[in-house]
Amino acid sequence: MSELFDAVDALIASRSALPPPVERRRLRQAHGLTLDEVAAALQVRRATVSGWEAGKTEPRPPERDAYARMLEQLARLYPADPNVAVPATDAVVPATPAGPAAPASSAAEPVQARPEPTSPTAEPANTALRPAGPVAVPRPAATTRPASSRPAAKKTVPAGTPAGGADQRFANGPLAVVDVDADGEVLAYCTGGLVLDVSAKSIPALVEWTLREGRLGQSKLSGPGKDADPLLVLTEAACEYYGLPVTLTDEERVAGRLPEGHKVIKQLARAKWQLTKRGFGPWARIYRPAQGSERTCVQLCIPSWHALDSRHWGEAGQLPPAELARILSVYASRVMTPRGSTAVTGLELMTALHPPTRASEPDATGRRTSEHNPGSLGKDPVDCAPCEAPDGHPLLADLPRFHVRGPGEKLFEEAYDWARPMTDAECTLRYLVGIDVNMAFAAGANGLVVGLGEPTHVKGPVFDPKLPGSWLVDLSHVDLSRVKVAKDTWAELDASLLPSPFTPKGERPTGPAWYATPTVAYAAELGYDVAPVEAWVRHDNGRYLDGWYNRLRDAYLATMADLGVHADLSPADFLAAMDGYRERDPDLATVVSAVKATVKGGLGKLRERPRGEGWKPGQPWRALARPTWRPDIRAAVISRTRINLHRKIVKHAAFTGQYPVAILSDCVVYAAGGTSPLDFLPYRDGKPLPGGFKLGVNPGLVKHEGTQSVLWGEEVRDRFDAPELNLARYIKDGTVTDIDNGE
């Protein structure tokens, strides 16, 4: 009879209602159980338990009976509080300051969702008991705490996210790192520590899985723009699993792609998938032609093929998949989903924020068409002015083969590389202190008016500082020994100790030369007349780079704040916070490096040169076909950055009598009596010199680059018999490389 009763009890239990999925998760977490522990007790896979808690699947007998019994006992121990709303998800929300946060995962996770395996570097989710200090984006943890146990955090929404919240199409984040574990299971590591099971057995199947089940991607950054395609990062194990080489051969590396006859490329062709012109390389794009507004595209990143340049991403390519996913996800949420190198991404970010076209207003039939998006560069490339063209450009095809263009023929706006011998007075001081401008070129782009359309040639123009363009003008008469530093205020300076603001090497110009608008405007600002001979100006113009600057600034500041360096610190506290900030969280320090590389690389791409491919001088190269090939914009940003730096140097010299010893790009070296920038920067009551250098983390402010002794500087110059060796190049750590070839 007892056996019959047991059978009846089991039958009733098999039909009894289970708590809702969110309550199942709450009960498990309330008892401190992990998904692995529950899965082991029920003898099922952890993904199965995750699916039950996500509401995607329901348990079946016999596991259902045991699962119901466990939940019933936990409900007695941890009854629900009727006054507290049950959280819709237990996804970790990083307690970050200002700046876009990573997209939150949705309440309905896929069936294959897994928690990340335990990591020795995981931080506890409950930050309430942490000592005061830097707040960093949490590393992926093996388990998560109930949302109610965490202190309230301000949630920020990435640009482009719908007003109703995170886009559920991309609930699992912008990207995933695909790896294969010791059991041969394919796993996709996503944002916030989420791990998905991947059922795909081939690259074509992986693409299909990504588009149908992965729920990966990123919402567009601008109204007329397009959503970012999902990004899959393949580890070495994943490459082997899917039939790809772990590393490229020398021939493949030079070509930048796999040969057309590779089996994976044939698999894609049979499945009707296509590759872009750059083929199957470190950053491969796999797509099918768009159907209407629907894009069908997946991008692959293969770190073992050197997709992640170590100069910008450090050792990220060798990190475990969960850590790599964290780095790339933070970068993607704050900048954008990587589209290639940091340089490529920097350029793509400009287009994503200012798409070339938009939908027109509906006509009488309600039909919309594509039209030019005001404020963008348009969809068609425009020719640069002859003076803006780099050597070898088709516009210069008629020049003699070995002709060298001088300043009167070529616009040459570049960053500083200048140094001078130290004076006797400077040699009596003990130290050389370097300061570096934060995000200098980003700051130079902020608020800058640049040309959007074609240039117009003008003879004998009247200079207009608000009109972007290139001007042929003689600035050799500008005398730095007497300059205007404020309205109706002139200063007497030692011009021999200052670089010229008009040339990268700091040499005084000797005659007419081509300059970008900011350079000529600075000459007028110093109190001197300017009379251009001719100009190429752009009447169609605008502040094209403002959104780009704001996005990258916010990404930089948010990540630095996570590392404990905040924008409101006093000068002394800022220097202390900057000391060793990279060691606090090396992953986020990598993101900082990548953001800075995105700025410089994106601007460099505006004037991209030929990259082999059989190019010959006078012939067009591939980059010229882009509307974003704009050397004039690059020149204007560099011009303004150099001028901004010189303006601070002049203000500092006029107020303190101190002059720089060396300048390299955005780093300036001064002789000082102490080791800190505070030993020579003129702060009064905590306030900096107006218009001079100011310590801080914001773009345009300065940080401590490094300190060496004056004896070190003199010894290095004597050793290499170079009295004007640029010490700013080596001030950071004092290591001097071979300079025989000018390096």
What is the DSSP annotation of 413-424?
A: ----EEE-PPPH
Whether residue 530 is predicted with pLDDT greater than 70 in this model: the reply is yes
**Residues 193/141, Cβ–Cβ less than 8 Å:** yes
| Co-location of 185 and 319 in the same domain | yes
Task: Give the pLDDT band of residue 403 (cuts 50, 70, 90).
Answer: very high
3-class SS of residue 94: coil
- Both tokens assigned to 627: 């509307």
Domain count, the chain: 2
* CA neighbours closer than 13 Å in the CB half-sphere of residue 610: 16
| Co-location of 183 and 320 in the same domain | yes
| Co-location of 72 and 171 in the same domain | no
Judge whether 57 lies within some domain.
yes
**Residues 482/601, Cβ–Cβ less than 8 Å:** no
Residue 583 CB-density burial (10 A; 0-12 exposed, 13-18 middle, 19+ buried): exposed
Of 587, 570, 568, 694, residue with least CA distance to 98:
568
Least confident of 128-142, 311-325, 369-383: 128-142
Average confidence score pLDDT of the chain: 86
Return all residues near 716 (Cβ < 8 A) that are at least 6 apart: 725, 727, 730, 736
| Co-location of 190 and 296 in the same domain | yes
Residue 600 CB-density burial (10 A; 0-12 exposed, 13-18 middle, 19+ buried): buried
Q: Identify the CATH number of the domain in which residue 55 sits.
A: 1.10.260
> Per DSSP, what are the bridge partners of residue 177?
189, 233
Sign of CA dihedral 690, 692, 694, 697: positive
Whether residue 200 is predicted with pLDDT greater than 60 in this model: the reply is yes
Which of 339, 358, 390 terminates a domain? The answer is 339
Q: What are the tens digits of pLDDT across the range 471-486?
A: 999 999 999 999 998 8
| Co-location of 206 and 333 in the same domain | yes
| Co-location of 66 and 174 in the same domain | no
Q: How many CB atoms sit inside 10 A of residue 489's CB?
A: 10
* CA neighbours closer than 13 Å in the CB half-sphere of residue 742: 2
Distance from C-alpha of 174 to C-alpha of 330, rounded to nearest angstrom: 10
Q: Are strands 357-359 and 370-372 parallel, antiparallel or unpaired?
A: antiparallel
Of 278, 294, 301, 276, residue with least CA distance to 286:
276
| Co-location of 314 and 173 in the same domain | yes
Least confident of 95-99, 558-562, 619-623: 95-99
Which of 77, 99, 130 terminates a domain? The answer is 77
- Give the per-residue pLDDT at 83: 54
| Co-location of 173 and 73 in the same domain | no
Q: What are the tens digits of pLDDT across the range 271-323?
A: 999 999 889 999 999 999 877 667 799 999 999 999 999 999 999 999 999 99
Sign of CA dihedral 443, 448, 452, 455: negative
| Co-location of 71 and 192 in the same domain | no
Q: How many CB atoms sit inside 10 A of residue 353's CB?
A: 24
Q: Are strands 113-115 and 186-189 parallel, antiparallel or unpaired?
A: unpaired
Distance from C-alpha of 613 to C-alpha of 620, rounded to nearest angstrom: 11
Helices and strands of the chain, counted as H and E runs = 21, 23
Residue 577 is which amino acid? A
Domain range for 32 is 2-77
Distance from C-alpha of 6 to C-alpha of 10, rounded to nearest angstrom: 6
Judge whether 642 lies within some domain.
no
Which of 339, 371, 388 terminates a domain? The answer is 339
Distance from C-alpha of 184 to C-alpha of 249, rounded to nearest angstrom: 26
| Co-location of 171 and 54 in the same domain | no
Judge whether 424 lies within some domain.
no
Whether residue 242 is predicted with pLDDT greater than 60 in this model: the reply is yes
**Residues 449/540, Cβ–Cβ less than 8 Å:** no
Whether residue 120 is predicted with pLDDT greater than 50 in this model: the reply is no
Judge whether 314 lies within some domain.
yes
Of 610, 594, 612, residue with least CA distance to 602:
594
- Give the per-residue pLDDT at 2: 61
> Per DSSP, what are the bridge partners of residue 462?
none
